[in-house]
Each structure stands twice: as structure tokens, then as C-alpha cells.
Amino acid sequence: MSHGDDQQSQALAKPTFSDVQASALVESVFGLKVSKIQPLPSYDDQNFHVCISSTKDTTDGPTEYVLKISNTESSKTPELIEVQNHVTMFLRAAGFPTSSVCHTVAGDLTGLMAVDGGAGVPSYLVRLLSYLPGRPVAEIPSSPQLLYEIGRLAGKLDETLQKFHHPQLSSLRRENFIWNLKNVPLLEKYLDALGQNRNREIVVQVIQLFKDEILTKLSHFRECINHGDLNDHNILVESSKSAFGDAVYQVSGILDFGDMSYGYYVFEVAITIMYMMIESKSPVHVGGHVLAGFESVIPLTPVERSALFLLVCGRFCQSLVIAAYSCQLHPENKDYLMITAKTGWKHLQQMFDMGQKAVEEIWFETARSYDSGVSM
């Protein structure tokens, strides 16, 4: 789910390439012969699953790829996409299961190419990434073991990115980026998409609490680069059998670095907790397992921990409000846009009804149980 700074212009600028046009792009820009191509769901970019015909030049490389065609707004910031590509390659070299980036026929190291459809037609940036194996976390029952591993992954990702350098790194300081967690107050201009109901009342309350209790504490949080979108469709897993015969899942893929920006360690863990709650049968208990995994790498400070509840609520609001707004602009993409909304409003209301103290008690007690070697 790659999202952009100005949601309306982004939503209106989603590419609409046909399968035939996308195949032609792969062949002309990357020099690979397509044997099969099919669209993949996406938020505001366009993605295709591409299978290529093997030749003597490609027998050693992957035969499956993802073609990503960036929307017109993102395509205006090639330096940002270049940084995303270099991060993907940097993390892959560091042992993370991220995609490799395919070079263009011109040998472009970033795998980018502007595609101009002619006079008055926007240009798009295209890139080809290796297709990663596994099933999205959304499709499997979550377990404490998997939630802990995903939390640990989020911590290791942020820790490793502290060592990443690039001349265009400042492009990740995306001040008005709607999906940066510090920008929850920007949701005010999209509230009309909700109508007048309890959902809207909760969002208004969260925004006010966010202004009062989060924005005033930002200087006390430790800054880092965030992936920013470790949701249950962007983490792939593969299963193996444990000694007891049940399935144990390992992360096999990390997708979509389109929401990367400078943020804070506590943002990453809050975003991860929120998305892991979506499909869970016991959503309020998710946070403690994810937090324990994250803190096995990067322990949070007391002030960061105290912000976690509101940050999770804030991310729910971002996802739910922008989805409702985007549905008005793109009703044909409603099924994909409303994935979070199916359970998200219910989870947000439950957290709000329970209150910060009760939810924190569950999270922190569960996280503490890992210290004693007895996970709940």
C-alpha cells in the first residue's frame, strides 16, 4: 500500500495500464520476454505479477517478478523512489528477505525508467522487483510466536536502517506525508468522508488527544527511518513443521517500501501492532507479543511506551479515514481499500471503550511475561 502526500491528486493519478501495455513495458524497458502477466491489488500505484520466458541469459536469475508502475505524483519524485530501491537492496545485502531490483536495458542501477505516453499524458516511473515467496500474514491464523517474530523484525529493520546512507536521504523527510504517523491531525480535512456518526466522534477525539499528548512529546522520542507500513499484506511467511508437528511460520518476504519516511522507533511498533490486530480473533492481546519482539531489539523508553496506545489509535484513524475518502474517489477499488475497515472500526471502538490504562495493562503484562520466559 504505497500512499502519497496529497491524497486527492494521488488517488486521481493511479496508472491504468492494460496487461498488454504492461507486458510491452517489461520487454522494452527491461529486455525480458513475458510468458504470463496478471494484475496485483494496489492502493494508488499499479502492480503486476510477471512470469518471464527463460533464455540463456536469464536461466540464473528469477523467473517471476513484480512490475511496479508508480502513480503520477510519486513519479515526480524519482529521488524518493531511488532511495526506496537502495534501501531494498541494502536490507537484502544485510540478510533481510526483500526483493532484488532488476536493471533496465540501459543498465540503470535504480531500475527506474520514465514512460511517456505522449503529449499531455503523464510520465510514470516503472521498476521490476523479484517476486518473493510466501503467503501474506493476513491469510494465516496469528500466533504469539509469529507476532513476536514480526515485532522483532520491525525492531531489527529500524536498527539496521540507522546504518543506511544515501545522497538523497533527506527525501525521506516528508513533512506533509499523510501516512507519517505524526500527521494524524491532517485527517481533519477528510472527516466529511465519514458522515455524522460515532466513528467520526472517536476520530475527532483521537485527533485532539494526539495534538495534546503526542505532538508535545515528539522531541522525547528517538528518531529513525521507518518502513511505515508493516501491514498484514506486506509481510509474507512460509511454514515449517515444529517438533510437535504443528506449523511454525518464518517471515519470507517484506514488501512495499513506498511509505518510508523519517519517524521514530515507537511509530514503527505502533503501526505494526495496529495492522497485526486487523485479522486477530483476540486483537487487544496482539500488542504485547509484538511489543516484546520489538523490545528484544530496541527497548522503548517510558515516555515512548506511554504514547503507544494513542499512536495505535492514530494509525487506525489514518487507515480508516483515508480508506473512506479514497472510496469516494475510486469506488471501483472499494474491496481493496476497505480491507482494514471490515474489522478496524470495531477494534478502534473496543480500544477506546476499554481505555488506555486497561489496554496498556494487557500489553505491558504480556510483554513482561517474555522476560520471565513464559509467554502468554
Listed in order, strand segments (DSSP E) in the chain are: 34-40, 46-52, 64-69, 113-116, 123-130, 135-136, 223-226, 235-241, 247-254, 261-264
For residue range 139-175, what is the model confidence (pLDDT) as tens digits? Answer: 998 899 999 999 999 999 999 999 999 999 999 999 8
pLDDT at position 293 is 97
Residue 103 reports pLDDT greater than 50: yes
Decide the pairing of beta strands 261-264 and 135-136. Answer: unpaired
Confidence of residue 94 (pLDDT cuts 50, 70, 90): very high
Contacts for 274 with CB less than 8 Å, ≥ 6 apart: 312, 315, 316, 319
Q: How far apart are the first and last CA of the chain?
A: 32
- Across the chain, what does the average pLDDT equal? 87
**Would you list the DSSP string of 31-59?**
---EEEEEEE--SSSEEEEEEE---TTTT
Of the residues 45, 229, 232, 259, which is catalytic?
229
Please check whether residue 75 is in contact with residue 127, taking contact to mean a CB–CB distance below 8 angstroms: no
Give the highest mean pLDDT range of 112-116, 131-135, 305-309, 370-374.
305-309
Please check whether residue 334 is in contact with residue 259, taking contact to mean a CB–CB distance below 8 angstroms: no
What is d(CA 301, CA 305) in angstroms, rounded to the nearest whole number?
Answer: 6
Confidence of residue 59 (pLDDT cuts 50, 70, 90): low
pLDDT at position 11 is 44
Helix 341-354 crosses helix 198-213 at what angle (to 10 degrees)?
Answer: 60
Domains (ranges, CATH) in the chain?
14-130 (3.30.200.20), 135-372 (3.90.1200.10)
**Percentage of the chain exceeding pLDDT 70:** 86
pLDDT at position 6 is 43
pTM > 0.75 = yes
pLDDT at position 120 is 58
pLDDT at position 1 is 44
For 226, the grid coordinates are 521507518
What is d(CA 362, CA 283) in angstroms, rounded to the nearest whole number?
Answer: 11
pLDDT at position 115 is 64
Residue 323 reports pLDDT greater than 60: yes
Is 60 considered catalytic here? Answer: no
